A and B are shown apart, each in its own frame.
Chain A
Amino acid sequence: TAGITQAPTSQILAAGRSMTLRCTQDMRHNAMYWYRQDLGLGLRLIHYSNTAGTTGKGEVPDGYSVSRANTDDFPLTLASAVPSQTSVYFCASSATGNGGYTFGSGTRLTVV
């Protein structure tokens, strides 16, 4: 089934440790995004990529990095996790010129 896959589904991470959240899509969408969802704050954009080889900062980029080596994959890395990064992380993709996002199923991350 075509779509967007995130891994892991959930993770408990010790503060100070690093972690990479994985995101893969098979729809050949040019644009990909990472959002975090926190209660009462909705979805906030962390980083985005308009096309393979390019990335940009969103609303809340500090503490996160991304790469876009190819069209399908868009990993999000936390270099040194802090408790405030406890959240649900959603990856999404969209075709160029079409704003409709397809979201992944999310990664629930708890930093302790």
Chain B
Amino acid sequence: GENVEQHPSTLSVQEGDSAVIKCTYSDSASNYFPWYKQELGKRPQLIIDIRSNVGEKKDQRIAVTLNKTAKHFSLHITETQPEDSAVYFCAAPLNTGFQKLVFGTGTRLLVSP
């Protein structure tokens, strides 16, 4: 089965700085890597995902990079804003496919004005 490790557990940045969160996975057959954002007291929401056939995907200020050889993927947030403060989770499939996700333990991002 899949094992996903996420670092760091907490990250504090100043508004306008960049933030990077990294995850490693164990199953080389994994082919789908989403990132979720969870604000305090709210449900997790998908913010970006990447399939294994590409190395990078961008959506405005957020991007995800994938290194299949090293089995790690990262979330990059540029020009951070206070509203980016939340817990971010990475995930990978329990088995090959897009479903039955195994989540990392989360990164609490705090963006200070």
Report which A residues bind B (CB closer than 8 A). Answer: 31, 33, 35, 40-45, 48, 50, 56, 58-59, 90, 94, 96-101, 103-106
Q: Which of A44, A59, A98, A104 contacts B43 (CB 8 A)?
A: A104
Q: How many residues of B contact A (CB 8 A)?
A: 25
Q: Which residue of A lies closest to B46 (CB)?
A: A100
Check A45 against B102 for contact (C-beta < 8 Å): yes
**Interchain nearest-CB distance for A91 vs B (Å):** 10
Check A97 against B105 for contact (C-beta < 8 Å): no
What residues of A have a CB within 8 angstroms of the CB of B100 in the complex? 33, 45, 48, 56, 58
Q: In the complex, what distance in Å separates the CA atom of A34 from the CA atom of B62? A: 28
Given contact pairs A48-B100, A90-B43, A94-B98, a sample of 9 additional A-B residue pairs in the complex whose CB atoms are under 8 Å apart? A31-B99, A59-B94, A90-B44, A99-B49, A99-B98, A103-B43, A103-B44, A103-B45, A104-B43
Query: B25 near A: Cβ within 8 Å?
Result: no
Check A42 against B43 for contact (C-beta < 8 Å): no
Q: Which of A35, A42, A104 contacts B105 (CB 8 A)?
A: A42
Q: Which of B13-52 contact A (CB under 8 A)?
A: 32, 34, 36, 42-46, 49
**Interchain nearest-CB distance for B29 vs A (Å):** 15
Q: Which of A31, A33, A99, A106 has the most CB of B within 10 A?
A: A99
Query: B89 near A: Cβ within 8 Å?
Result: yes
**Interchain nearest-CB distance for B85 vs A (Å):** 17
Q: In the complex, what distance in Å separates the CA atom of A44 from the CA atom of B42? A: 17
